[in-house]
Amino acid sequence: MVNNKTLMVVILLSIFMAGSQTKGNQDTASHQNKDSAIKQLTVFKEQTFVPGNDVILQCGNATDIKWNELIYIVWNISLQGRKCWLGFNGLSPKLVDTCNDGKRLFNTSHGVSIVIPKISIQDEGFYSCDVSYKAGSYILNMSVSVTNVATQLDSENSQRIAVCHSIFKQKAPTLHWEPAINFSSNTSSVKKHGMFSMMENRVYLPANANNSELTCVATYTSESGSVQQKSTLNLTVWGPTGTTFCLRMKEETPTKR
């Protein structure tokens, strides 16, 4: 009889422990699924744009957000030394705008997007779209960068120097010249100027260099891909007794890779 009671206790304990372990695994799985769902509602992006273009930043899409159950949407913007926001709630179409710099919102089938007219380096910063609707919420955090590259001709001890520089705030681009040149005196440097940094590449041109045109190519990389911007330095030589250089800077249409 004792053995039967002992056996019964062992069986009950085994069932209890197995049930507790199953419940613990279910609680752990539920907690992990909840964390996973929260992560899916927060999106991080990084994009680079060319100055002068109208830019549209989209906040989610119709499959992610129940737009017909919208409670509010706010674009929080952190720029160079200032913060502002644009937004409205689902009950009133009236837009609240503290930026007052031309940015605007508009509603499409892909959600409420923000328009940045003629984007410039002053628009660089962080853009966060915060959406709340009856079934949940959605947050998009986007880092926005703007390309900036220019060329000029300098001289030192009668030697020509082709200079290319790019001003950036977040991520430094890579610079190279076209056609490909392999001059021994080729230096690059990065200097800090307040909230911005400047990458500069200087090429000392030998006296026998016969290049009539040099193009500096700046390549900016981000999660959305690579963006290129070019600046061309055009050298024209004339005059019977001396040499005069005419500087022409041409911004070419950037290409994406």
- pLDDT score at 119: 94
pLDDT in tens, the chain (257 residues): 445 554 454 444 444 444 545 445 555 444 444 444 433 467 788 888 888 889 999 886 656 666 677 788 899 999 988 999 999 886 766 788 999 999 998 876 666 789 999 999 889 899 999 988 887 888 889 989 888 899 998 888 888 888 999 988 777 889 999 987 776 678 888 988 777 789 999 988 887 777 788 899 999 887 667 888 899 987 654 222 233 333 333 444 444 44
Question: How many C-beta neighbours within 10 Å does residue 82 have?
Answer: 11
Q: What is the pTM for the complete model shown? A: 0.63
What is the CATH T-level fold of the domain 41-146, as seen in this structure?
Immunoglobulin-like (2.60.40)
- Fold equal for 41-146 and 149-252: yes
- Closest to 162 measured CA to CA, from 198, 208, 123, 215: 215
d(CA 172, CA 143): 14
Would you state the CATH architecture of domain 149-252?
Sandwich (2.60)
Domain boundaries, the chain: 41-146, 149-252
d(CA 99, CA 80): 13
